Amino acid sequence: MTAAALIVAAGRGARAARDGLAPKQYAPLAGRPVLAHAIAAFEACPGISSITVVIHPDDRDLYAASAPKSASKLKPPVPGGATRQDSVRLGLASLEREAPRHVLIHDAARPFVAPETIARVLAALETHEGALAAEPLADTLKRDRGDGTVSETVPRAGLWKAQTPQGFRYAPILAAHGRAAAQGRTDFTDDAAIAEWAGIAVTLVESPSRNFKLTTQEDLIMAEQLLRPEAPLWEPRTGTGFDVHAFCEGDHVWLGGVRIPHDRGLLGHSDADAPLHALTDALLGAIGDGDIGQHFPPSDPAWKGARSRVFVEDAAARIAKRGGRITNVDVTILCEAPRIGPHRDAIRNAIADMLGIEVTRVAVKATTTEQLGFTGRKEGIAALASATVLLPA
Ligand code: MG
């Protein structure tokens, strides 16, 4: 009596791909890849005779680095298709020689599947044609009118959230997948839906909510916390920046995103907002991502006369892309004139708005240099900035 496990790990994760990150199933979780957790659960379940992982053809190296060497039931990976449904079909087809009695299909991005849940799905298959791990719905459901307002409350009695593993007798589910593909049906969101369509009776096996699917960066952080509650979730990073612009003919200066009337202007390719340039470098410095000159070269005509908030917003977006949060920024402006005090709150508000953080996280200070040096001689303005950022540990 054999039961094969088919772990589907062929997804690329649109968000991860856009951010240049490895797909979630290969992300590290408590010291090993997400995928390795799922493999270990099936390896530990005595009723499972073999484990096959369906991977994206481009992920062979990632897989080789992720697959546990000690899993004795693990067979060579199988290349998947363009959709999850296609990948499962190809995975099932790869088991034809093995011809197991049962097959359990599982999403690689559910690392918390317990060997007990796998065993209970297997046990259900002794008396049912199909069985899936599922969780009774706890939340009240609302239907959207289509404009963000509620049209009705949907009764939740009898509603379950489908999880994986989903188990079936091998031959009928292989045939059902083949028939769905032949008929061009590509709209099934899980294997139980294909089974239903094919007339295979499927039973529900209650499974804990802990067997959730990792979808977002936040899910990964939550998963890490579940497995290593003592480990820090966030790593503080600090960056500093410094910038100078010389005075020139003019009637205003831009400082911290605020236009301040003055009897001089500031010379620069962009709007010469030295505090925002220093701030941009501080933000980039905190995440080790180059500097303002690298991302916005003065030689590029695109930035001629640009509002410097563009540079700050780009740096903030780079932090957000890494899953980071800006804790606080601190900007110091060095000049004899204009006087910064009357504009301080406007500058703080402008910077808070650019960064999407509370104004209490933004400090703006000003000082003269006691008429010493180039700022003291009123030849230009200098600015210093520091930024503290939390990145996922
Ligand atoms: Mg500059």
Determine the distance separating the centroid of ligand 1 and the alpha carbon of 270, expressed in angstroms: 8
Neighbouring residues of 341: CB distance < 8 A, sequence distance ≥ 6: 366
Using CA atoms, how far apart are residues 78 and 60, in angstroms rounded to an integer?
10
CA of 272 to the centre of ligand 1 (A): 6
CA of 377 to the centre of ligand 1 (A): 19
Quick one: residue 375, left, alpha or beta (phi over 0 = left, psi -120 to 50 = alpha)?
Answer: alpha
Of the two residues 13 and 315, the one the predictor is more confident about is 315
Task: Give me ligand 1 centre to Cα 126, in Å.
Answer: 72
- The mean predicted confidence, pLDDT, of the chain is 94
3-class SS of residue 57: helix
- pLDDT per position as a tens digit, 19-36: 666 788 999 998 899 999
Give the integer Cα–Cα distance in Å for 160 and 138.
Answer: 9
Q: How confident is the model at residue 97 (pLDDT cuts 50, 70, 90)?
A: very high
**Centroid of ligand 1 to alpha carbon of 101 (angstroms):** 69
> Considering Cα of 389, then 327, then 257, then 266, what sign does the dihedral take?
negative
CB 191 within 8 Å of CB 168: yes
What pLDDT, on the 0 to 100 scale, is given for residue 69? 85
Q: What is the pLDDT of residues 196-206, one digit of tens each?
A: 999 999 999 99
Q: Where are the beta strands (DSSP E) in the chain?
A: 3-9, 28-29, 32-33, 50-55, 78-79, 102-107, 130-136, 141-144, 150-154, 160-169, 202-206, 234-248, 252-255, 258-261, 265-266, 325-334, 362-367, 380-392
pLDDT band at 18 (very low <50, low <70, confident <90, very high): low
Residue 104's pLDDT is what?
98
| Structure confidence at residue 217 (pLDDT) | 80
pLDDT at 16 over 90: no
Rounded distance from Cα 252 to ligand 1 centre (Å):
16
Cα 129 to middle of ligand 1, angstroms: 69
Which one, of 275, 256, 252, lies nearest residue 348 by Cα?
Answer: 256
The rounded distance, in Å, linking the Cα atoms of 362 and 357 is 8
Q: How far is the CA of 278 from the centre of ligand 1 (A)?
A: 7
What DSSP letter does each residue of 208-231 carry, written as one string?
Answer: -TTSPPP-SHHHHHHHHHHH-TTS
| Helix 34-43 × helix 115-124 angle, to 10° | 50
Quick one: pLDDT band at residue 245, thresholds 50, 70, 90?
A: very high
Q: What is the DSSP letter of 2?
A: -
What is the mean pLDDT of the segment spanning 296-316? 92
Residue 74 Cα to ligand 1 midpoint, Å, equals 57
d(CA 372, CA 35) in angstroms, rounded, equals: 62
338-355 pLDDT, tens per residue?
999 999 999 999 999 999
pLDDT tens, 207-221?
999 999 998 888 988
How many angstroms separate the alpha carbon of residue 256 from the centre of ligand 1? 12
CA 243 to ligand 1 centroid distance, Å: 5
**Three-state SS for 386?**
strand
pLDDT at 57 over 70: yes
Q: Quote the ligand 1 centre to 268 CA distance (angstroms).
A: 7
* CA of residue 26 to ligand 1 center, whole Å: 40
Would you state the pLDDT for residue 234? 87
Per-residue confidence (pLDDT) for residue 59, from 0 to 100: 92
- Domains belonging to the chain, first-starting first, are 3-227 (3.90.550.10), 234-392 (3.30.1330.50)
255 Cα–ligand 1 center, Å: 11
